[in-house]
């Protein structure tokens, strides 16, 4: 079997941040700007706390079967929860969405390249 790649997003919102936590997040906001977003095994966090309390983690997970996408989502959620807990950030409303890259339709340019061989 070939390895499948899953892109997983874990979304939520910060809840009841202390003044120090908010200041820390604001100080590191440039590192977590959406322009730096990427799907990685370690996870990529984006937020714009100055505008709203929402955040998104992006993870790259792997599996062997299409059904492994559920476990990939659970692993990503656990990673996000661990990251938040290690820093003492309260959160609410976590939602997980995942895509199996093997099932994604090819873009027009990719179809042309594949046909050209």
Domain ranges (residues) in the chain: 4-116
* Residue located via tokens 């874990």: 10
pTM for the model stands at 0.86
**What pLDDT is recorded for position 108?**
62
Class of domain 4-116: alpha beta
**What pLDDT is recorded for position 109?**
65
**What is the side-by-side strand order in the sheet with 54-63?**
44-47, 54-63, 4-14, 91-100
**What pLDDT is recorded for position 51?**
92
Q: What are the residues whose beta carbons fall under 8 Å from the beta carbon of 8, sequence distance 6 or more?
A: 39, 58, 59, 60, 61, 72, 73, 75, 76, 96, 97, 98, 99
**What pLDDT is recorded for position 111?**
61
**What pLDDT is recorded for position 104?**
75
Which parts of the chain register pLDDT below 70? 1, 106-114, 117
């Amino acid at each position: 079997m070939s390895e499948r790649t899953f892109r997983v997003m874990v979304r939520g919102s910060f809840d009841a941040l202390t003044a120090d936590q908010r200041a820390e997040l604001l100080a590191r906001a440039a590192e977590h700007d959406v322009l730096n977003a990427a799907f990685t095994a370690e996870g990529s966090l984006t937020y714009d706390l100055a505008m709203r309390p929402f955040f998104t983690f992006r993870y790259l997970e792997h599996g062997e079967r299409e059904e492994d996408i559920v476990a990939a989502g659970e692993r990503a959620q656990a990673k996000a929860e661990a990251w938040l807990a290690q820093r003492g950030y309260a959160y609410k409303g976590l939602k997980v969405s995942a895509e199996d890259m093997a099932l994604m339709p090819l873009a027009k340019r990719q179809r042309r390249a594949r046909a050209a061989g």
